[in-house]
Amino acid sequence: MGFFNMLATIMPVFADASQTGLIAIGAAIAVCCGTFSAVGEALVCCHAIDGMVRNPEQAGKLRSTMILAVALCESTAIYAFVTAILILFTL
């Protein structure tokens, strides 16, 4: 009996476990995307506040631009969360 024939007879036993593991890995990758989105939001806020300190006259414009940028970063995190939920519960 060759190695591949033996593997073919054993694989149905591990099929559910490996599929569950791959689903968990996919959901973890989606959650990591949300985590990196939070880091991006922090950087946006950090640099906007730095700009407000350096140029107080432009604080209103910087604040509105910062809110828009944070909203876009947050939408990425929400998409990642929804993707993780879909991966976990639909497959």
Q: pLDDT tens across 7-38, in order?
A: 566 656 555 556 777 788 888 888 888 889 88
**Alpha carbons 2 and 21: distance in angstroms, whole number:** 27
Q: What is the pLDDT of residue 63?
A: 92
78, part of any domain: yes
- Averaged pLDDT score across all residues of the chain: 83
Residues of the domain holding 55: 33-91
Residue 2 included in any domain: no
CA angle 72, 60, 69 (to 5 degrees): 10
Is residue 39 in a domain?
A: yes
Residue 77 lies in a domain: yes
> pTM of this prediction?
0.65
> For position 7, what pLDDT does the model report?
59
User: How many domains does one find in the chain?
Assistant: 1
Q: What percent of the chain has pLDDT over 70?
A: 79
* Residue with the two structure tokens 């506040």: 49
Is 63 inside any structural domain?
A: yes
Q: Cα(first)–Cα(last) distance of the chain, in Å?
A: 34
Q: Is the pLDDT of residue 46 over 90?
A: yes
